[in-house]
């Protein structure tokens, strides 16, 4: 009698939350006290973030890995947390207060920062709570935030150490400036985008020249107001006469020198270039070389402003409005030679998408070369591995050409830069503790107003989260970590820098493998984003299909490192497969559980050789699945692991084994006991193998298996062990023949439209004696699966019916008196014969090809010979059938 009443459909919502609670209560996600550690640090989401599909993929991937290793007995630590995300978070709160009609300047620094904290306290755990919904098995007791006091100490320590090592310096140069966020950005934070723009050719009047003007080409005419020279290449004959002359800067109407500089490419534009040292990085270099003035002609928010260079008509205009107006003025004055369409790159702020303005300013930089060297070496020596490997080239290229890192941001939200200046004696230094007075002269001190780049704190994540610079037990135990899982989009921002920080400050790699999955995109291969409205809310998916369905699609839907393509307009197609599979699993469980006694005898208590073929076969298949799934997991081929489980559960266990043993189970006799034992064992193994991918439903079912202790959890149960000596290809082949017989009969049934309820009579003629024994032993299985009322072997009287012939020449006859259409049967069989003959012909050609026989490996040749023999038998059998039917 059934021990459980389970509904016929799996209801994820009824089980997910309680199970998660149970895992938490049991401390299942805390690393076990003993055992070799396995550590994944979670890429910390922005503290204001809500879960999107990209993170969903990232997190589920990590969860699969951590659950797998946890089951394998490792002291598995998945360390969660959030990032304060300087610009992003400040923007969010600025928008909030904008609704009250205020700016951060109205509030003042202190109040604004307090406001951000209030917001973070209120909403900062949202995304972490969402992770629980999708089943993330992180150790919440070790949750970190990049602005935690301990973490901040690490950030400050790192800054001071780099300062002491002379790797931090103040740079006066042209950096990327976001006029909307009002801060400088690193090179990485200014994303390039190709646009269809224009190239403006502008005439700069020249008094003493042979020609009345020199023409320059530019994509940003508005910067003309900041020009302090015109430059040409020193080797450019065309302009030799101009060098040393003075041009008249249009609109501003001031003299500027025409000079020669190597940086100018003669082939581009006119070969003459306007030089705007304060608003262009190359021009800045030219300016330095020629000691040019470097006037800023724009405000921080991108409006034109300069006491002498910006005329009233242009003052205060936004840079793009100013561009149009300046072009108009130039046109009016005949100074605009031409305008060409021109495809070029602009840089955009990665947080707000504004076009970034190159701007001369003072910023703090980190010298990166010394940091990059060990990180590069670690990759080259294989100490750190990138998966997929192809990212190695990108990583190397970036490291080899690394540029100094601008780490100061003109924001209020973040780690304040610990550089202090004495108001009295100008002494400047970095300090671990806030100083009360200047250590040199005792004068009052001022702290640098800027904060650090967010990534300057997150690059310490693998060890700052473990208590560094304190020598904590966690740090000793869990550093270095093992696997980092992330998307390739933050390879430079984060991954590369973590590696550098690890070697610099811990003298050891932060992790051994970086696994980079792909990006989540829609069916048009566009990245999912809020602005495109093509996103999928993972929580919607959980609501509609359950967390396991979401996880299934995220894992089974992508191969190693490839993008995940999802259709936001068709969630059903996208996520139903996972739900359906969960439901299938549920119902297999429902059936098996209804059949199992308490307790179930262990499989080991049965003599292997006495188990029926089907039992030995499914046990072997289970074992094979264990081997394959384990191997796939180890290689990050998570999709293969998931699909292998699917095949075993659905294709082998449900479609064949469960159906095959139903009669035995129904008999309730001694035959049933073995079947029960085998079912229990196989199902248990399947649940274990599937648990990392679909933790909820597997735990729920596993709990119901007989013999479960009250406090046992699948989440911390051992991973099944693969037994290489149980692999048996012969066994598989034998059962394959059984399957083929069944399928042959089913196919005949369908072709002759025999109603499912009609029981047929069939006769098998086996090719070899062994095979006959197999068929006889599995007679009941075949009868049931093929819906037969009678199955006989060999010899019976010739009757009218249909035949199917198999690879080894065995054949099955299905009696179809009255129903048989001889013509049709002839066509069917001769079709098969033709196909077989063609195959044989090809094979024969291959085998008579001396080149093949001589050069191909002997075992391949032998295999082909064997194949030929079997096919000949099959052909013979088919030909006989045709003859006996009287086909012409």
User: Segment 371-430, which members bind RNA (CB under 7 A)?
Assistant: 390, 393-394, 397-398, 401
How many whole angstroms from its chain centre is CA 609? 46
- Candidates 67-75, 185-193, 502-510, 765-773: pick the segment binding RNA (CB under 7 A): 185-193
Nearer to RNA, 711 or 753 (CB): 753
Closest separation in Å from C-beta 671 to RNA? 17
C-alpha closest to that of 506 among 534, 466, 559, 456:
466
Burial of 355-379, coded b for 16+ CB within 10 Å and e otherwise, reads bbbbbbbebbbbbbeebbebbbebb
Whether 199 and 269 have beta carbons less than 8 Å apart is answered as yes
Count CB atoms within 10 A of the CB of residue 118.
11
Nearer to RNA, 564 or 716 (CB): 564
Helix (H) or strand (E) holding 516: strand 513-516
Nearer to RNA, 364 or 806 (CB): 806
Whether 881 and 803 have beta carbons less than 8 Å apart is answered as yes
Whether 79 and 144 have beta carbons less than 8 Å apart is answered as yes
**Beta-strand runs (E) in 23-105:** 37-41, 75-79, 81-82
CA count, 13 A, side-chain hemisphere, 226: 28
* Contacts to RNA from residues 447-486, by CB under 7 A: none
Nearer to RNA, 194 or 817 (CB): 194
Closest separation in Å from C-beta 695 to RNA? 18
Interface residue with RNA among 103, 111, 192, 446 (CB under 7 A) is 192
281 binds RNA (CB under 7 A): yes
Closest separation in Å from C-beta 465 to RNA? 26
C-alpha closest to that of 636 among 566, 581, 559:
559
Interface residue with RNA among 149, 212, 724, 755 (CB under 7 A) is 755
658 binds RNA (CB under 7 A): yes
Whether 462 and 513 have beta carbons less than 8 Å apart is answered as no
Closest separation in Å from C-beta 391 to RNA? 8
Closest separation in Å from C-beta 219 to RNA? 4
792 binds RNA (CB under 7 A): no
* Structure tokens, 368: 């990166």
Interface residue with RNA among 119, 140, 650, 722 (CB under 7 A) is 650
Q: Please give the angle made by the CA atoms of 420, 422 and 423, to the nearest 5 degrees.
A: 125
Nearer to RNA, 104 or 621 (CB): 621
* Structure tokens, 187: 């090179």
* Contacts to RNA from residues 325-364, by CB under 7 A: 344-345
Interface residue with RNA among 497, 579, 763, 875 (CB under 7 A) is 579
Count CB atoms within 10 A of the CB of residue 35.
13
Distance (Å, rounded) from C-alpha 139 to C-alpha 78?
6
* Contacts to RNA from residues 660-689, by CB under 7 A: 662
Whether 216 and 204 have beta carbons less than 8 Å apart is answered as yes
Nearer to RNA, 133 or 733 (CB): 733
Nearer to RNA, 416 or 739 (CB): 739
288 binds RNA (CB under 7 A): no
655 binds RNA (CB under 7 A): yes
Closest separation in Å from C-beta 710 to RNA? 26
Interface residue with RNA among 322, 528, 588, 760 (CB under 7 A) is 588
321 binds RNA (CB under 7 A): no
Closest separation in Å from C-beta 498 to RNA? 17
Residue 226 φ/ψ region, left for φ over 0, alpha for ψ in the -120 to 50 degree band, beta for the rest = alpha
Nearer to RNA, 655 or 794 (CB): 655
Nearer to RNA, 90 or 454 (CB): 454
Residue with tokens 């305008």: 339
Helix (H) or strand (E) holding 661: helix 659-667
- Candidates 53-61, 132-140, 565-573, 693-701: pick the segment binding RNA (CB under 7 A): 565-573
Interface residue with RNA among 217, 520, 625, 638 (CB under 7 A) is 217
523 binds RNA (CB under 7 A): yes
Distance (Å, rounded) from C-alpha 662 to C-alpha 353?
63
888 binds RNA (CB under 7 A): no
* Contacts to RNA from residues 258-277, by CB under 7 A: 263-269, 271-274
Closest separation in Å from C-beta 12 to RNA? 9
Distance (Å, rounded) from C-alpha 444 to C-alpha 438?
6
Nearer to RNA, 13 or 207 (CB): 13
Secondary structure (H, E, C), 359-400: EEEEEEEECCHHHHHHHHHHHHCCCCEEECCCHHHHHHHHHH
Closest separation in Å from C-beta 104 to RNA? 29
Closest separation in Å from C-beta 16 to RNA? 15
Closest separation in Å from C-beta 594 to RNA? 7
Nearer to RNA, 447 or 559 (CB): 559
583 binds RNA (CB under 7 A): yes
Closest separation in Å from C-beta 567 to RNA? 7
Nearer to RNA, 579 or 881 (CB): 579
Nearer to RNA, 112 or 455 (CB): 455
Nearer to RNA, 90 or 632 (CB): 632
Nearer to RNA, 21 or 324 (CB): 324
- Candidates 104-112, 156-164, 313-321, 751-759: pick the segment binding RNA (CB under 7 A): 751-759
Angle between helices 547-556 and 53-71 (to 10 degrees): 90
Interface residue with RNA among 9, 141, 470, 876 (CB under 7 A) is 9
714 binds RNA (CB under 7 A): no
Torsions phi, psi of 520, nearest 5?
-85, 125
* Contacts to RNA from residues 85-144, by CB under 7 A: none
Interface residue with RNA among 435, 480, 577, 663 (CB under 7 A) is 577
The three-class DSSP label of residue 128 is: helix
Whether 514 and 387 have beta carbons less than 8 Å apart is answered as yes
Distance (Å, rounded) from C-alpha 189 to C-alpha 185?
6
Closest separation in Å from C-beta 291 to RNA? 19
Strand partners, 515: 387, 485
220 binds RNA (CB under 7 A): yes
Nearer to RNA, 156 or 274 (CB): 274
Question: Got the DSSP string for 249-285?
Answer: ETTTTEEEEEEE-TT--TTSTTSEEEE-TTS-HHHHH
Count CB atoms within 10 A of the CB of residue 322.
25
**x/- contact string, 837-866, with RNA (CB under 7 A)?**
--x---------x-xx--xxx--x--x---
Which residues, other chains included, contact 859 with Cβ-Cβ below 8 Å and sequence gap of 6+?
Answer: none
Closest separation in Å from C-beta 844 to RNA? 13
The three-class DSSP label of residue 206 is: strand
Interface residue with RNA among 425, 750, 822, 862 (CB under 7 A) is 750
Interface residue with RNA among 337, 659, 712, 873 (CB under 7 A) is 659
Angle between helices 571-595 and 670-690 (to 10 degrees): 150
Torsions phi, psi of 347, nearest 5?
-105, 140
* Contacts to RNA from residues 40-69, by CB under 7 A: none
Helix (H) or strand (E) holding 589: helix 571-595
Count of chain residues binding RNA (CB under 7 A):
91
Interface residue with RNA among 26, 241, 329, 576 (CB under 7 A) is 576
């Amino acid at each position: 009698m059934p021990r459980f009443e389970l509904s016929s459909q799996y209801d994820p919502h009824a089980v997910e939350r309680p199970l998660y609670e149970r895992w938490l209560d049991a401390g299942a996600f805390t690393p076990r006290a003993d055992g070799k550690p396995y550590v994944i640090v979670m890429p910390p989401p922005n503290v204001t973030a809500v879960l999107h599909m990209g993170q969903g993929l990232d997190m589920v991937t990590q969860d699969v890995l951590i659950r797998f290793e946890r089951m394998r007995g490792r002291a598995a630590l998945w360390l969660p947390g959030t990032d304060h995300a300087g610009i992003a978070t400040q923007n969010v709160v600025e928008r909030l207060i904008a609704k009250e009609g205020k700016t951060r300047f109205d509030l003042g620094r202190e109040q604004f920062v307090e406001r951000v904290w209030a917001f973070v306290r209120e909403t900062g755990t949202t995304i972490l709570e969402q992770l629980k919904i999708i089943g993330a098995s992180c150790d919440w007791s070790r949750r970190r935030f990049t602005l935690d006091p301990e973490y901040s100490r690490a950030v400050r320590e790192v800054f001071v150490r780099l300062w002491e090592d002379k790797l931090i310096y103040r740079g006066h140069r042209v950096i990327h400036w976001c006029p909307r966020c009002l801060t400088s950005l690193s090179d990485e934070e200014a994303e390039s985008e190709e646009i269809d723009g224009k190239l403006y050719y502008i005439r700069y009047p020249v008094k003493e020249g042979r020609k009345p003007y020199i023409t320059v080409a530019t994509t940003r005419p508005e910067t003309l107001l900041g020009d302090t020279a015109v430059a040409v290449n020193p080797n450019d004959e065309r302009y030799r006469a101009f060098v040393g002359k003075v041009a008249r800067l249009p609109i501003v109407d001031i003299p500027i020198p025409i000079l020669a500089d190597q940086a100018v490419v003669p082939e581009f534009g006119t070969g003459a270039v306007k030089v705007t040292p304060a608003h262009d990085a190359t021009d800045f270099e030219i300016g330095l070389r020629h000691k040019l003035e470097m006037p800023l002609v724009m405000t921080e928010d991108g409006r034109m402003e300069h006491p002498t260079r910006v005329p009233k008509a242009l003052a205060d205009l936004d840079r793009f409005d100013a561009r149009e107006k300046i072009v108009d003025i130039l046109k009016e004055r005949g100074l605009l030679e031409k305008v060409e369409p021109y495809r070029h790159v602009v840089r955009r702020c990665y947080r707000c998408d504004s076009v970034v303005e190159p701007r001369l300013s003072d910023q703090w930089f980190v010298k990166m070369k010394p940091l990059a060297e060990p990180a590069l070496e670690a990759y080259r020596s294989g100490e750190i591995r990138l998966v997929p490997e192809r990212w190695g080239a990108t990583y190397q290229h970036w490291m080899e050409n690394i540029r100094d890192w601008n780490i100061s941001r003109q924001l209020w939200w973040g780690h304040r830069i610990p550089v202090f200046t004495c108001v009295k004696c100008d002494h400047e230094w970095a300090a671990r503790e806030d100083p009360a007075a200047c250590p040199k002269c005792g004068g009052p001190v001022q702290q640098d107003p800027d904060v650090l780049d967010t990534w300057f704190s997150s690059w310490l994540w693998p060890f700052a989260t473990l208590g560094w610079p304190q020598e904590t037990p966690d740090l000793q135990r869990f550093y270095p970590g093992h696997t980092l899982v992330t998307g390739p989009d933050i390879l430079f921002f984060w991954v590369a820098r973590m590696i550098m920080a690890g070697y610099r400050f811990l003298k050891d790699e932060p992790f051994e493998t970086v696994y980079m999955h792909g990006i989540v995109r829609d069916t048009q291969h566009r990245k999912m984003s809020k602005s495109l409205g093509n996103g999928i809310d993972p929580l919607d998916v959980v609501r509609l299909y359950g967390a396991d369905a979401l996880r299934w699609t995220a894992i089974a839907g992508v191969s190693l490192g490839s993008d995940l393509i999802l259709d936001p307009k068709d969630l059903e197609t996208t996520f139903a497969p996972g739900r359906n599979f969960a439901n299938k699993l549920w119902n297999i469980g429902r059936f098996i559980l209804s059949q199992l006694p308490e307790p179930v005898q262990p499989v080991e208590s049965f003599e292997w050789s006495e188990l029926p073929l089907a039992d030995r076969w499914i046990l072997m298949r289970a074992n094979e699945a264990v081997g394959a799934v384990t191997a796939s997991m180890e290689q990050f081929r998570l999709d293969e692991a998931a699909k292998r489980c699917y095949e075993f559960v659905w294709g082998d266990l449900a479609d064949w084994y469960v159906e095959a043993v139903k009669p035995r189970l129904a008999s309730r006799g001694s035959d049933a006991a073995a079947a029960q034992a085998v079912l229990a064992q196989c199902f248990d193994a399947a649940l274990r193998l599937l648990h990392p991918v679909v933790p909820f439903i597997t735990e729920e079912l596993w709990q119901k298996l007989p013999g479960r202790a009250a406090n046992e959890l699948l989440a911390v149960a051992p991973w099944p062990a693969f037994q290489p000596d149980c692999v048996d290809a012969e066994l598989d082949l034998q059962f394959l023949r059984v399957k083929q017989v069944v399928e042959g009969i089913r196919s005949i049934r369908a072709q002759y439209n025999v109603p499912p309820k009609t029981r047929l009579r069939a006769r098998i003629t086996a090719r070899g004696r062994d095979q006959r024994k197999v068929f006889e032993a599995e007679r009941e299985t075949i009868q049931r699966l093929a819906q037969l009322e009678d199955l006989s072997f060999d010899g019976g009287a010739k009757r009218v019916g249909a035949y199917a012939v198999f690879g080894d020449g065995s054949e099955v006859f299905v009696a179809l008196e009255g129903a048989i259409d001889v013509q049709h049967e002839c066509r069917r069989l001769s079709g098969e014969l033709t196909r077989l003959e063609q195959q044989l012909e090809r094979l024969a050609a291959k085998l008579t090809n001396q080149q093949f026989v001589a050069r191909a490996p002997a075992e391949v040749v032998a295999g082909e010979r064997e194949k030929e023999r079997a096919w000949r038998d099959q052909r013979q059998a088919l030909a006989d059938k045709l003859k006996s039917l009287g086909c012409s």
